[in-house]
Structure 1
Amino acid sequence: MMKDLQNKTIGVFFGGQNPEHEISIITGEFVIAELRKMGLKVIAVYIDKNGIWYSNKKISELKFFQKDYAKKLENLSSCYLDLTLSRNKLVLHCNKFLSRKKIDIDFVFPTFHGLYGEDGTIQGLTEFFHVPYAGCGVYASSVSIDKGLTKKLLSSLNIPTTDFIISYRHEFTSNDDSLIFKIKRKLTFPVFVKPARAGSSIGITKVKNADELKVALALAFHYDTKIIVENSVENIVDLTCAVLSDGSKIVTSDVQESVFGSSDLFDYSMKYLEDGGAQTGNAESNLIIPANISNKHTEKIKEYSKHIFKEIDASGTIRVDFLLNKKTGELYANEINTLPGTLYHHLWEKTGYQINEVLEKMLLQGYARWRESKEIHKDFKTDVLNNANQLKLQHHSE
């Protein structure tokens, strides 16, 4: 099936309108470089923080974005999606002086993180136009981006997760004291306050007492209209397992342990800045692969991860995060990430899979899903319109 993709144009989409914009750029440029090494035809499609689309050779390299890239973008022509011509492909028109350049995209590889990309929106766009794409579908993406829905899913699968509550911004703005009372009554300090649909530890606060709640809630609601507050796991070991499939076989990675010393959480700086970033696999001193935990916990994490992959109908690769209380041995599933930063290539490499193998499996499953969807009947013969009575419909609507 890879032969079917050899002559296709793969569009790698990155950027987006959310706080994880820069992380998406890193993942996007990484995927572009690796797909080109595989001999595939790849173009870059960048969406800026205002939702403007660009496709240009200059944005295909990370160095373009490393110094004052907003000013550089002013010298590039923007693009727009042709809604009429986009059918089994996405058709872009890029504005040029006195002309337009037309770009046909046969296969979409989303590398967005967070809202407006990793949440099922770009996946829904591609499905609307019947275009194959890599990675998880609409449903897996939309559920997994939401920490509250993820918690409910885990509970329904009898997979242990920490106690939590969900809250919306109107509850906080209308009566913050009532919300704080609810948290105090249902949970035990310390707790974590998190935006429900943000990643990369953005907007997260560990709260040790009720006096700290109001500021933490305000911060979380700054990044989302929906938040979760959950019990903290003390004596913590932060663990991660990745899952990969080409549509026929599901495999799990080794379990990774992230070390963050005396800090209360594995924050944005540790993930992406210090020593090149642990989430991109560069800060090796912060990572232990395989994790220094018991065989029992290792196997349970792999079992849960594979089970979650199947239950959300995931595709390509995902990452599942776990928390372990090293004193009590209690293990909790925490979050699902349907597009791990740089595809967690460092963890797959430690497990024995090179990045080209990961990408190939993602491409194969995305293409197979598209071909299977074309076999589904989308029409149904009916006389319902001929039998509809317009006068009755008007009467009922009044």
Structure 2
Amino acid sequence: MMRNLNLKNAAIMGCLFFISIAAAAQEPTHPQEIYIDPNSVTNVTKQQVFDEVNYIPLQTIAQSRFNTIDQLVVTDKYFIINEQKTNHVLLFDKTGKFHCKIEVPSFSTAFSVNRQKREIMVKKGRTEIYYNFDGKKLREQPEKSIGTPYYFANGRIGYADYRVSEQYLPDTVNHEYRLYSKGRQYAGYLPYNMKLASIQNSDDIYTWHGPFFDIGSSKAVLYCRPFEYNIYELTSQRAYVKYKLVLPQEYVFPQDVLTVDSLKGHRYTYFNANQKQIREVSFAYETGNNIFFRLNSSIAGTNGSISYIYNLKTNALAAIKDIYPDATNYNLPITDIYNGGNFYNRNFLTSDGTYVYTSIKAELMFATAAKAQNQYPNNLKQYFAKGSSNGNPVIVQIKAKDQFTIPKAELSSNK
């Protein structure tokens, strides 16, 4: 999701009280440096990198119809889906059977899930509205804190929030990541000045995802920041840089880009003029020995912001767009990177610590299946026999190999 808030409204809300406790991100050890060379990737097939690519059609009936998965949370029993266009949160079980639908306020852009209490929370202004996993409204209450919450397994809550405005916000220190227990803040990390910080809200680039990237445990999440090549791990006790990506110099922007006054508030103009340079890392997930991430640049199209998988054991690197279907996934698409905007904009939607998830529209599934005769598993046989290209999207569940190796790429004119 976009980090920007309505700054005028934030100012009107009055002076906020923050407990200034922890300062910089605490690192229990030095971050692991990962050397990434985008020039080294080459074309590979699904079976070289992925153990499983599973397709889970979502039941299409009158009350379950929707078009796009804007947000996905995976629990032990359900896929919880947000479609902003229709202002609905939908729940399907893990086989894809429709469970229930919740109508949420039209100005809600995302939801948060408390797995322990089995609750879904959406915000209406500064009011939190809670529903259970059967779609029943439970309660409304004033928000505990400004920002996006993550509910940890131990009952504590982490909030992410970054707001900077020389015009509307006070000259005071806030923390980008704050921890609460029983309604009281007990720690804050990643401090910044809400008025004077070098990175203004207008410098940030829109990201189709909330601030937290799930790794499946409810004990920790991954986190990325604009204009950094770091991947943070956030828990209910600390925040620290877990991985530091090291790129070839040709892809690295000079650090004075973040301090030059003439660029303050519109650094996007610099990156539009220097499109090859990587702005930041985003969409970070970790499953087993593998890290998924995207390197964001200003190059348009599939050669721009590219997503990768990196194996921590073998140091192998693959670009997701260069992993092609094969017979082991019935030659069906792995993502829609070349056939739609879903993966390009939203990337992997989430992870449960074992799998990463994306989605593919029914139209693409049926168009691909029509070109080849394959022996499908029972759920796909039924899907192609009884479904239609106008049906709900299909969830794609991907499990990477615990260790994989990839031949070195040969330099070519299209790399």
Q: What TM-score comes out, normalization by structure 2 length? A: 0.27
Structure in which a larger fraction of residues adopt helix: 1
Structure in which a larger fraction of residues adopt strand: 2
Greater Rg by CA: 1
